[in-house]
Structure 1
Amino acid sequence: MTRMTKIAKEAPVAKPRAPGCAAPEAQEKHRVPHPYRDLDRMSRAMMARYTAGVSPFSMLEAWNDWALHLSRAPGRQIELAEKAVQNTFKLTDFAIHKSLNTPVEPPFSPSAYDHRFTSDKWTAMPYALWQQSALATQDWWEDATADLRGVSRANSDRVGFLIRQMLDVFAPSNFPALNPEILDETIKQRGMNLIEGLRHYGEDLLQTLSQTPKKVPEGFEIGKDLAATPGQVIYRNDLFELIQYSPTTETVQAEPVLIVPAWIMKYYILDLSPENSLIRYLVGQGFTVFAISWCNPVAEQADLSLEDYRKRGVMQALDVINAVVPDQKIHATGYCLGGTILSIAAAKMAQLGDTRLASVSLFAAQVDFSEAGELLLFLDESQVAFLEDMMWAQGYLDRPQMSRAFASIRAEDLIYARAVRRYFLGQEDLPSDMLVWNDDTTRMPAKMHSEYLRGLFLENRLTAGRFCVEDRIIALKDISAPIFAVGTEKDHIAPWKSVYKLRLFTETDMSFLLVGGGHNGGIVSEPGHRHAHYRQGHWPKSALYEAPETWRDHTEVQDGSWWPAWIDWLRQQSSGSVAPPAMGAEALGYPPLIAAPGRYIHQR
């Protein structure tokens, strides 16, 4: 309530904007305090606490759009009735063959990421029939919420998403009496698995209610086991710490590497255990590496903006690196949101004639958000306004609110399969460096997240020629530094085809890699990683555009990690080896402050 009162007293002064520059928010007037509008915002903010930040108005609109159009489509109703009959016949045929012990292929299959029915026990009757019935129902609803003329694609997808959430709740795998794995384990352990599961549930419930961070498992201590690459913090402001890593080779490439991570999670996704740390690998390959470690913002930092992250983040880091390694260009590397802000910074630098970038590498990073995957299910004007009001009240988007949104996209595996293992089978979560990092989420400042959702996701200004930096529209095509972009095959946060579209908006030399795995697992793919593979393409400035599917189908798959390919590319963009630079630049005001990984990584 203190923050609401403070906001109500501080009316921002509107600044004139250059022609063509859109306002940071679609409804600028709602940023000016007003007692009646603030009452509305407070009401929505309170409601958001009970809906996990999901706008009920947006969901009701989707339901109405779909249901009303279906009610006036007799042909579509007949088609769906036929689909129901066909699925029933398939289930009946399957049940008869299974009852007679004759070989039969299941008519319905779970998705690749659905691990609820992987046990062989689901192939026996009656469990096989229950499993197939659940998948048949899911199959029918997928058809029912697709291809309905007149319904907007966004509303159709939203309804399909909501249906999946409901079907996941009532899947037979979630009920002990219907799940053969739970029944067998209960008999085997004489019910001790259920007692252990109840203990796990109590622990998780207490942790959720208290909002306390999970205890880090033994052997995964941050700074000792994870984020343990030696180095020093050489600069700190209220937004980030800049880490310079200690060299391990006698000579290094003349051009240093700057890593710009996403601020939605801690930076050490790229510096996990020593064996799968990309930062340690880079240092071992003879590069001087710098990394940004973002702060975990609190309510008092609610007014941090995208421009702050660009100017006082990326650009400030470049200035510090130029002081440590003078007269050298920089290999700038951005991951996820870090890649988006790096793209914005690079385009502005090009506009100003700033040529300090030797190259730009973007990992699972989007610049065009028209095909941004299933995260778009959560975004429309109603939803963004709902989130803005929730952030207006608390000053940030909190960690659990983001985690639930990401988990619900893959609820079958990330929520229900885990719940069955933990609460009914009594199994502990196997500790891993990726799991520890995944639980170490951060908050998102209210103003920055609002600008990000509206300007990039909702209105797609960056590739529409309407994104302004310092009151001037920027263009990605101005970037002249060579680009190395990486997309991952199973990415549901930054779909690879969306990442690939960078080619449409840039005119510089570009290499693109499509790697196996998901948003995180595909990037953290060290040499020796099992099942690792990638496709690699290269297009000079004069190359014509090629559709992503066409390129993929005509590009040979290469086995192994993509990291060495990136290292080779970086060396091609470098000018040769030199002696390692000093740690920091004390004479210029950048002395070593504290050993890596610094302080901000420990903020909760």
Structure 2
Amino acid sequence: MDNQGDKSGKTPNLDNYVVKDPEAFARNVAHMIEQAGKAASAWVEPREKGLKRDTLADPVTDVVKTLSKVSEYWLSEPARALEAQTKLFSSYMVIWSNSIRRISGEEVEDVVKPDKGDKRFADEDWGKNAFFDFLKQAYLVTARWAGDLVENAEGLDDHTRHKAAFYVKQITTAASPSNFLLTNPELYKETVASNGENLVRGMKMLAEDIVAGGGDLRLRQSDLTKFSLGENVATTPGKVVGRSEVAEIIQYEPTTKEVFRRPLLICPPWINKFYILDLNPEKSFIKWAVDHGHTVFVISWVNPDQRHATKDWSAYINEGLRFGMDTVEKATGEKSINAIGYCVGGTLLSAALALFAKEGDERIKSATLFTTQVDFTHAGDLKVFVDEDQIQALEKAMSAEGYLDGTRMATAFNMLRSGDLIWPYVVNNYMRGRDPVPFDLLYWNADGTRMSAANHSYYLRNCYLDNNLVRGMMKLAGENLSLADVKIPIYNLAAKEDHIAPALSVFEGCRYFGGDVTYVLSGSGHIAGVVNPPAKNKYQYWTGGKPNSAFDEWLAKAAEHPGSWWKHWGKWIEAQDPERVPARRPGENNIEILAEAPGNYVRVRV
């Protein structure tokens, strides 16, 4: 790297790029290679023993097949291909010309700049050093050009275009110069300053994470040693008062003398664990609800194994949701219940409500849905992974063990935001050799769950692939379900930046319910939009009229409110039935106490 001038004509200091102790550096490179060998052994060993089978071919095949359709459009017409290539190369030439002008001391504007909030290029040498500035701009131009190829390709169906855009985003994010030692000035300087000790630590961490993943990389996003269930996460006091093959039912200790007559039953997603709603006392929705007079029960789903292979949605309704309702009734004597469903737990709850309506089970009197989709027409990027070919491949993989391994689902979710949830940790952990900081949310995110084969297959086919619930084609217990049969009041919460259950998707689902629906839009995303305690005074939420117009029209007329939606929900739920009774405690009415909260099922890790 030459002494190129920066944008002000000054010469940057290149001392930080020169190895000061070649002997120590060579020694650490040898240690790094030794640790890399251990990482390779950790990957190879379970495969040699037949304990791990790779299924990489299926997703790679889909990527190639999808991007080939984009290529066909551009290559089918030589003039079109030449125009696209010319556009890219002309941008390169402008960047190169600007670099030459900068070396001569001229002030020049960048051809392209990172998006607002892009933290990858924060180091000053991405701008001061002409070499790294050229790499940065060439990368950004190429990434945007590749995205434009997908957007401007004609003749693609919506699903193929969605997949192509997603795959291109994954590829360009992975190819960023910020992810590589020799093309990232910050990494380069840290490596020189430590004589390569960071690389030794990084390779050691890589080997440890492959061992922890049983032969697959389990990317650590938080210092997991700093958290313990029941001690500093999931600490709200309660008891396990019911247990089936698929669920434990937790009843929480009251903190008020009186409580609402109607108990509150929470149905969380079985993808990840329930304690996202009970991370710590300051963030806990469960504790907040208890402190505001609710008798709270929560379903804690089993982490399934081969024994649960045939447990489908009917089983999760009967042995989870219905079992929870029976337990609530036994524990409190109440036949009227308020229910909450979160994400896929809300989808299950919605389907169950339609089934209960046909059966005449009227115990649930109101339902609250957190970032829940019932109409999957406008589902988020997870839809990329769902088509007939991919589902068949997944079902074949699940048939061997009877479940989907939790690491595969975790990887899929991390890929939705790979620029935030994958590559920063690859760089921090394995190149800088730094331990990630303790963060309870990412501890929870890493505490993944398996999914029973029957349950996951039913979900993908009936929801993402065929959208059967809103078409009246979803069948449970021999009944075709209709959400129009659900007449109870519904509080439907969406999050504005949600990439899993997009706000538009949640909004469109409102129209299928047969009763009154209150649509509320929270700021932030799938997690922070829900877990937003009022004391933090963060984000905002929007309320408006009936959700029966176009989403953009509703939002344009909606009223914005600062802070958390929790208090708004509190008023809504109290309006359903404000009557109060003396507080109930776990163990009353001869209910057996099976364990202390957070229970046993939640402690099973993948």
TM-score normalised over the length of structure 1: 0.86
Contact persistence 2:429–2:435 (CA under 8 A): yes
Report the equivalent of 2:571: 568
Report the equivalent of 1:278: 285
SS of the residue corresponding to residue 50 of structure 1 reads coil
Amino acid at match of 1:421: N
SS of the residue corresponding to residue 265 of structure 2 reads strand
Which stretch has the larger CA shift, 345-354 or 434-443?
A: 345-354
Report the equivalent of 2:73: 69
C-alpha displacement at 1:238, in angstroms? 0.9
Report the equivalent of 1:333: 340
Contact persistence 2:209–2:217 (CA under 8 A): no
Amino acid at match of 2:230: G
Report the equivalent of 2:165: 160
Instruction: For CA contacts below 8 A with separation 6 or more, give which structure has more relative contact order.
Output: 1
Contact persistence 2:241–2:592 (CA under 8 A): yes
SS of the residue corresponding to residue 297 of structure 2 reads strand
C-alpha displacement at 1:460, in angstroms? 0.7
SS of the residue corresponding to residue 486 of structure 1 reads strand
Report the equivalent of 2:460: 453
Whether 1:117 aligns to 2:141 is no
Which stretch has the larger CA shift, 333-342 or 497-506?
A: 497-506
Report the equivalent of 2:63: 59
Partners of 1:564 and 1:97 in 2: CA distance: 58
Mark the CA change 1:118 to 1:328 in structure 2 (over 3 Å): closer, same or farther: farther
> Deviations for 1:538-579, whole angstroms, at most 9, x for unmatched residues?
42xxxx722112222332332212211211211111232211
Aligned runs of 1:283-302 on 2, under 5 Å? 283-302=290-309
Which stretch has the larger CA shift, 69-78 or 59-68?
A: 69-78
> Deviations for 1:438-470, whole angstroms, at most 9, x for unmatched residues?
111110001111111111111110011211122
Mark the CA change 1:90 to 1:470 in structure 2 (over 3 Å): closer, same or farther: farther
Aligned runs of 1:140-289 on 2, under 5 Å? 140-209=145-214, 217-289=224-296
C-alpha displacement at 1:585, in angstroms? 4.9
> Deviations for 1:237-284, whole angstroms, at most 9, x for unmatched residues?
111000000000111111111110100111111111111111011101
Report the equivalent of 1:407: 414
Structure 1 runs (4+) greater than 6 angstroms displaced: 211-216
> Deviations for 1:274-302, whole angstroms, at most 9, x for unmatched residues?
11111011101111100000011111210
Aligned-residue Cα RMSD (Å) equals 2.5
> Deviations for 1:86-108, whole angstroms, at most 9, x for unmatched residues?
63466357546754352635623
Report the equivalent of 1:433: 440
C-alpha displacement at 1:153, in angstroms? 2.3
Whether 1:549 aligns to 2:556 is no
Contact persistence 1:510–1:538 (CA under 8 A): no
Whether 1:424 aligns to 2:419 is no
Mark the CA change 1:266 to 1:430 in structure 2 (over 3 Å): closer, same or farther: same
Mark the CA change 1:196 to 1:515 in structure 2 (over 3 Å): closer, same or farther: same
Aligned runs of 1:303-452 on 2, under 5 Å? 303-452=310-459
Amino acid at match of 2:206: Y
Report the equivalent of 2:598: 597
Match of 2:109 among 79, 104, 107: 104
C-alpha displacement at 1:146, in angstroms? 1.6
Contact persistence 1:244–1:290 (CA under 8 A): yes
Partners of 1:71 and 1:184 in 2: CA distance: 42
Amino acid at match of 2:376: F
Amino acid at match of 1:549: D
Partners of 1:63 and 1:104 in 2: CA distance: 33
Partners of 1:572 and 1:231 in 2: CA distance: 26
Mark the CA change 1:535 to 1:97 in structure 2 (over 3 Å): closer, same or farther: farther
Partners of 1:315 and 1:594 in 2: CA distance: 21
Mark the CA change 1:166 to 1:297 in structure 2 (over 3 Å): closer, same or farther: same
Contact persistence 2:544–2:555 (CA under 8 A): no
TM-score normalised over the length of structure 2: 0.85
Partners of 2:417 and 2:305 in 1: CA distance: 29
Contact persistence 1:177–1:183 (CA under 8 A): yes
Aligned runs of 1:498-513 on 2, under 5 Å? 498-513=505-520
Mark the CA change 1:86 to 1:365 in structure 2 (over 3 Å): closer, same or farther: farther
> Deviations for 1:10-52, whole angstroms, at most 9, x for unmatched residues?
xxxxxxxxxxxxxxxxxxxxxxxxxxxxxxxxxxxx9x94234
C-alpha displacement at 1:54, in angstroms? 4.0
C-alpha displacement at 1:61, in angstroms? 3.2
Partners of 2:597 and 2:187 in 1: CA distance: 45
Partners of 1:57 and 1:211 in 2: CA distance: 20
Contact persistence 1:94–1:107 (CA under 8 A): no
Which stretch has the larger CA shift, 323-332 or 126-135?
A: 323-332
Contact persistence 1:52–1:401 (CA under 8 A): no
C-alpha displacement at 1:78, in angstroms? 5.4
C-alpha displacement at 1:119, in angstroms? 3.5
> Deviations for 1:116-147, whole angstroms, at most 9, x for unmatched residues?
22334422232222112111101000010123
Report the equivalent of 1:27: none
Partners of 2:144 and 2:550 in 1: CA distance: 29
Mark the CA change 1:559 to 1:73 in structure 2 (over 3 Å): closer, same or farther: farther
Contact persistence 1:586–1:592 (CA under 8 A): no
SS of the residue corresponding to residue 119 of structure 2 reads coil
Report the equivalent of 1:87: 91
Matched residue pairs, number? 552
Partners of 2:194 and 2:125 in 1: CA distance: 17
Report the equivalent of 1:583: 586
Partners of 2:542 and 2:492 in 1: CA distance: 12
Amino acid at match of 2:184: N
> Deviations for 1:342-366, whole angstroms, at most 9, x for unmatched residues?
0001111222333222211111111
SS of the residue corresponding to residue 404 of structure 1 reads helix
> Deviations for 1:59-105, whole angstroms, at most 9, x for unmatched residues?
34323433333333456435524542563466357546754352635
Contact persistence 1:491–1:518 (CA under 8 A): yes
Mark the CA change 1:106 to 1:276 in structure 2 (over 3 Å): closer, same or farther: farther
Structure 2 unmatched ranges of 5 or more: 1-49
Contact persistence 2:112–2:137 (CA under 8 A): yes
Mark the CA change 1:288 to 1:92 in structure 2 (over 3 Å): closer, same or farther: same
Partners of 1:184 and 1:57 in 2: CA distance: 38
> Deviations for 1:492-551, whole angstroms, at most 9, x for unmatched residues?
211121111122212422222222222122211112336422212342xxxx72211222
SS of the residue corresponding to residue 123 of structure 1 reads helix
Which stretch has the larger CA shift, 236-245 or 558-567?
A: 558-567
Mark the CA change 1:529 to 1:80 in structure 2 (over 3 Å): closer, same or farther: farther
Structure 1 unmatched ranges of 5 or more: 1-45
Identical amino acids, percent of aligned pairs: 34
Whether 1:492 aligns to 2:499 is yes
C-alpha displacement at 1:211, in angstroms? 6.7
Aligned runs of 1:16-31 on 2, under 5 Å? none
Amino acid at match of 2:468: R
Mark the CA change 1:414 to 1:86 in structure 2 (over 3 Å): closer, same or farther: same
Contact persistence 1:407–1:415 (CA under 8 A): yes
Amino acid at match of 2:568: A
